[in-house]
Amino acid sequence: MLDLCRRGEISKETFLTVKEDMLRLLAELYFGYVLRKMPCSYDLSGYKSSIPVFFSNGAVWRMMVRIGFGKIFGRRG
């Protein structure tokens, strides 16, 4: 994705939008399948090494908190 942006094949805005969507997906997966231990078919064994490629751990945790509160109060994070 970053290479597509660097080559000009996608805009910076597209890159940032996809990055935000990836953060939400990553936080949803982590929240459900790592923290809540829900069964899944995803291989999440390498998530700790994958997170820092595009995101800080703090960004993922903040998104998980938003998602968690959203689930509690019936809103999307």
Q: Domain extents for the chain?
A: 2-73
Residue 75: pLDDT band (50, 70, 90) is: low
- Percent with pLDDT over 70 in the chain: 96
b/e sequence 65-74, b meaning 16+ C-beta within 10 Å: eebeeeeeee
What is the mean pLDDT of the segment spanning 13-25?
91
What is the mean pLDDT of the segment spanning 41-51?
77
pLDDT in tens, 60-72: 888 888 888 887 7
